[in-house]
Structure 1
Amino acid sequence: MPGGRLTQQERQQIALGVADGLAYAEIARRLDRPTSTITREVMRNGGPTGYRADLAHHATERRTHRRRQTAPRGQASPPLEHGRDADAVREYEESFVALLIQQGLPKMMAGVLTCLYTADSGTLTAAELVQRLQVSPASISKAVTFLEGQGLIRRERDERRRERYVVDDDVWYQSMIASARTIAQLSETARQGVTVLGANTPAGVRLENISRFTAFVGESITRAAEQGRDILYGTKES
């Protein structure tokens, strides 16, 4: 599998694939690239409706130029804590942001959430988020308000009375349970349709099958979430 940065020709192929409605996985297969590379490339350069190969290529060149200006000539970015490679961390964070955007989260909110998930403490102040994302305090405030409203983060005060934003591991459990409830509602609605349309009619049979399927999936999600909840709070065994 080829490595390195995308070429302009590859970006043109990505643009054609996006225009044709191909899945990112299919575009990646044709270019022999990881799907995450294609997802990140598209989402950070206008998304599926605004991606342009030439603009994406120029934007990448500008970002590369800025990075070279901030680092000593001939040297890579310095390693971070725990021996982490700064370039590898940045690439991973970009992939994480792209995935969250693909799931429907606005770009700024995705950036804030990614910062919190990749911080060892799981908590950052507004000033720290401003520094990491290089955006205005107002942008951070708006993103935090949105994420808090969605139940994805919470606020707390530290010993210096500074407001900190915290990512709550339990949100994944709550998200799964909420998803299971939605599926259960779909199952119940389909079952009501069986009574209305008739159990022995084609439509009734179809809705009965939908009801049974969604009930099974919803119950499975709830059971798995309950059984796996402790994993969210576990520590890696040595």
Structure 2
Amino acid sequence: MIESGRAHDQAHDQAQDARDGEAVSRFVERFAADLVEAGMQRMGARVFAALLVSDAGALTSAELAEQLQISPAAVSGAIRYLAQVDLVAREREPGSRRERYRLYSATWYESLSRRDQLLVRWESTMRDGAKILGPDTPAGQRVSETAEFFEFMQSELRTMLDRWRAHQAARGGAGKQ
């Protein structure tokens, strides 16, 4: 069993070595730029993209700093941000004090699921605002329409996430990205 595990690790290392490291770096930077354009913090986007392309889905601070050519402080700040927005988890390496940073197994699904809670809160706030502003005022109507939009988004998001779970289950990959 240990031998087969070592063989698997060696095959994994060879597959990773066969990749064009420069092309992988360009991909990481391109995807990070896309995330930044969508509103994510720059270093957080770079660290997230690096974790996403790692076969293990987890790297140490030193590995991230080396791969991205950034300081340990930049890694720390990015991880703090990514943990705050529930995109990564911290875990201890067995037998070590070093931490590894891991993507959640269904990162996109989990992230969008949590957005549902945000939409509920925003809808509630907008409904309160519409009452305060008055339903017959232009501002009240605009805020009321915003509340309706958030309500619609909640419904559509839940439906979409349910369809995604069914799609993954049909493919035999429930819970995987």
Partner of residue 234, structure 1: 176
Match of 2:65 in 1: 130
Partners of 2:148 and 2:83 in 1: CA distance: 35
CA deviation digits over 1:155-191, x for unaligned, max 9? 1123342421111134423321332233333333444
Q: CA 1:137–1:82 in structure 2 vs 1: closer, same or farther (change >3 Å)?
A: closer
Structure 1 residues 209 and 129, CA, compared in 2 at 3 Å: closer, same or farther?
A: closer
Cα deviation digits, residues 34-87 of structure 1 (max 9, x gap) = xxxxxxxxxxxxxxxxxxxxxxxxxxxxxxxxxxxxxxxxxxxxx962843333
Match of 1:139 in 2: 74
Equivalent residues, number? 155
Q: CA deviation at 1:103?
A: 2.4
How big is each residue's C-alpha offset from its partner over 1:180-217, in whole Å with a ceiling of 9 and x where there is no partner?
A: 2333333334444268624xx36466555444333122
2:92 aligns with: 157
Q: Which residue of 2 aligns with 1:181?
A: 117
TM-score normalised to structure 1 length: 0.54
Q: Structure 1 residues 184, 138: CA separation in 2 closer, same or farther (over 3 Å shift)?
A: closer
Question: Aligned in 2, Cα 1:206/1:100: closer, same or farther, shift over 3 Å?
Answer: closer
Q: Is the partner of 1:233 in helix, strand or coil?
A: coil
Match of 2:35 among 81, 84, 100: 100
The answer for the alignment partner of 2:102 in structure 1 is 166
Q: Shift of residue 90 of structure 1?
A: 2.3
Q: Does structure 1 retain, via aligned residues, the 8 Å contact 2:87–2:111?
A: no
Instruction: Give the aligned partner of residue 197 of structure 1.
Output: 134
1:234 shift after superposition: 3.4
Alpha-carbon deviation of 1:108?
2.1
Q: How does 1:6-85 map to 2 (within 5 A)?
A: 81=16, 83-85=18-20
Q: 1:82 to 1:132 in 2, by over 3 A?
A: closer
Deviation (angstroms), 1:233: 2.4
Question: Aligned to 1:212, what secondary structure does the other structure show?
Answer: helix
Specify the SS of the correspondent of 1:104: coil
In the superposition, relative to structure 1, how do residues 163 and 214 fare at CA in structure 2: closer, same or farther (>3 Å)? Answer: closer
User: Any stretches of 5+ residues in structure 1 without a counterpart?
Assistant: 1-78
Deviation at residue 117 of structure 1 after TM alignment: 0.6
AA of the residue aligned to 1:222: R
Moved more, 119-128 or 183-192: 183-192
Deviation readout 1:15-45 (Å, 9 max, x if unpaired): xxxxxxxxxxxxxxxxxxxxxxxxxxxxxxx
Q: What SS does the aligned partner of 2:66 have? A: helix
Q: Is the CA contact 2:32–2:49 (under 8 Å) kept in the aligned structure 1?
A: yes
Take 1:139 and 1:205, find their aligned partners in 2: how far apart are those partners? 44
C-alpha separation in 2, matches of 1:82 and 1:136:
24
Contact kept in structure 2, 1:112 and 1:129, CA below 8 Å: yes
Gaps of 5+ in 2: 1-13, 169-173
1:148 is displaced (CA, Å) by 2.0
Give 1:154 deviation, angstroms.
1.2
Radius of gyration: which is bigger? Answer: 1
TM-score with structure 2 length normalisation? 0.69
Task: Give me the whole-angstrom Cα distance separating, in 2, the residues matched to 1:208 and 1:133.
Answer: 45
Instruction: Name the CA distance, whole Å, in 2 between partners of 1:105 and 1:210.
Output: 23
Runs of 4+ in structure 1 displaced over 6 angstroms? none
